[in-house]
Chains A and B, each alone.
Chain A
Amino acid sequence: MSATFAYYPGCSLQGTEKEYNTSLQLVAKALDHKLEEIPNWLCCGATSAHSINHALATALAGDTLAKAQDAGHSKILAPCAMCYSRLATTLHQIKSDPDKAASLEKALKREKGGLAEMRALSMLDWARELSDAEIQAPIKKKFKGLKIACYYGCLLVRPQKVTGVENAEIPQDMERVVRLLGAEPVSWTMATACCGASFSLSDKPSVFRLGRRVIESARKAGADAIIVACPMCHTNLDMRQTEFQAADERIPAIFITQLMGLAYGFSPKELGLEGNFVNTDAITAALAATEEG
């Protein structure tokens, strides 16, 4: 079914993780989804703003909601888990407390109100809006024998009162997509553990310690690859992995949209797979084997 979203790509998708944007754009087109980029959007403030400047974090999220509203939208798709969480958390606050909604609107000098009626969608929400048939319709080749560890991390699922996911401890949204593409999701223990991405710049020991736990758990479960739906998780589990895992103990991590894109017939190059630091041949090989032409 065709659908239109206000699109909030966020800073990472314009910078080091641009492959997420490229692959999402291709997949969205295949699904007949229109992504209309929010005009003049700003950074969500990420961990830093909510950590040391709560008011700034709220104002930044409010600005994005306002710009999407002014562009005539009610639904914002935020592929970055951090951007999504900032919007969803702020929406949760202003939805549950009308006074907070009023102060935010006043601070942003907005008369028209209604900010609290906006909706933020994560990639999980987005996938949930698609029926099985819709996800399968564009498939050109299915995967065969490919074992996938679906990694959710933190902010796509927690806290439940903000994300509205059905099960914050054992979510299954990405597993459903993986199965529909012919691949096999593994059951593993670190699917919703933190990978330490927020310390990517500032505390390497945390990144290595927490990142390694995730990679090791996926390997133990027999996964050939990890899929993610967050640019920061990707930086951590792909680029940083080359710093904390020995060369023969690595496992590729790609975006869920890259996995979908491969099944939809886009080339690894179009989907930006060469941007990965850890070799992704295991994934593409599992696809070629079932070429149906």
Chain B
Amino acid sequence: MKTLAELVKSATGTTPLDCYQCGRCSAGCTQNVTEGMDMGPVRIMRLIQMEEAFKDQPETAAEYCDRVLTSDTIWMCASCQTCTQRCPQGIDIAGTMDVMRQTAIQRGKAAKSRRVYDIVSAHKAFINCIRRTGKNDEVALVGEYKMRTGNFLSDMNMAPQMMLKGKMSPFGAIGSALSLLKSGPADNVKHVFEAAEALRKEEEEQ
């Protein structure tokens, strides 16, 4: 199994191993400074380095790796790119967060907290929307999100106002709800999912 640093290197061309722990990423991270994270990006970088450093002691390495993959932080990251913009070592930190999220899902390690569950559910619902229609249908997205999370009441207060403002039509909503019954990629988007599969295989083989 590849280390996290290796995965980041192949996806972003940069490596967390270059991090000298200046803390600039954490200091400017919107989520970190407003206490939305369990640890700042600087600690994620350190933990990735520790996994690499203990490569010859698999158990210890796995512990460091798990601390990254099971953290709330990787999901609370807003992908705002401030860290990547400011890192004096040119590390793609926001890109690192992407790799961590994807790896956490692939290895079944995503945190079990309620807020992470909601965030992961929203991502999955969004991708399913694209699979079914090729687009993000906001009503279908909210519908699937609610089914996945059981948050049935969230945003219901906004629906009447949104209809009033013409941002949502009752007929459109019915069409969107029906689209939830479809399965498998729609014809207009099949080739993109096939291309993604080809890209993924190629990356794996490298």
Contacts and interface: CB of A to CB of B under 8 A. Distances in A.
Interface of A: 11-12, 14-16, 18, 40, 42-43, 45-56, 58-60, 62-63, 96-97, 103-104, 106-109, 154-155, 158-160, 168-169, 192-194, 196, 198-199, 201-206, 209-210, 213, 239, 243, 274-275, 277
Interface in B93-109: 94, 98-99, 101-102, 105
A194 B202 CA distance: 34
Contacts of A56: 127, 130, 192-193, 196
Q: What 5 pairs between A and B have smallest CB-CB spacing?
A: A194-B80, A158-B81, A202-B122, A48-B126, A107-B195
Contact of A55 (B34, B123, B154, B200): B200
Given A53-B102, A160-B85, 4 more contacts: A97-B13, A203-B119, A206-B78, A213-B34
A206 B31 contact: yes
Contacts of B167: 15-16, 18, 275
Interface in B46-83: 76, 78-82
B34 A11 contact: no
B79 A47 contact: yes
A58 B192 CA distance: 9
12 contacts: A15-B136, A51-B123, A52-B124, A55-B200, A59-B192, A59-B199, A106-B198, A154-B80, A192-B82, A202-B122, A209-B36, A210-B31
A209 B195 CA distance: 38
A43 B119 contact: no
A202 B30 contact: no
Contacts of A204: 154
A43 B192 CA distance: 11
B173 to A, nearest CB: 11
Interface of B: 11, 13, 30-31, 34, 36, 76, 78-82, 84-85, 92, 94, 98-99, 101-102, 105, 115, 118-124, 126-127, 129-130, 134-138, 141-142, 145, 154-155, 158, 161-162, 165-168, 188-189, 191-200, 202-203
B199 to A, nearest CB: 4
B22 to A, nearest CB: 17
A226 B159 CA distance: 25
A51 B168 contact: no
Contact of B130 (A49, A192, A213): A49
Contacts of B30: 193-194, 196, 210
Nearest to A14: B135
A155 B110 CA distance: 26
Contacts of B158: 239, 243
Nearest to B81: A158
A202 B168 CA distance: 20
A104 B200 CA distance: 11
A52 B82 CA distance: 20
A51 B189 contact: no
Given A59-B192, A59-B199, A213-B34, A51 B81 contact: no
B76 to A, nearest CB: 7
Contacts of A193: 30, 80
A43 B142 CA distance: 16
A234 to B, nearest CB: 11
B197 A196 contact: no
A59 B84 contact: no
B115 A104 contact: no
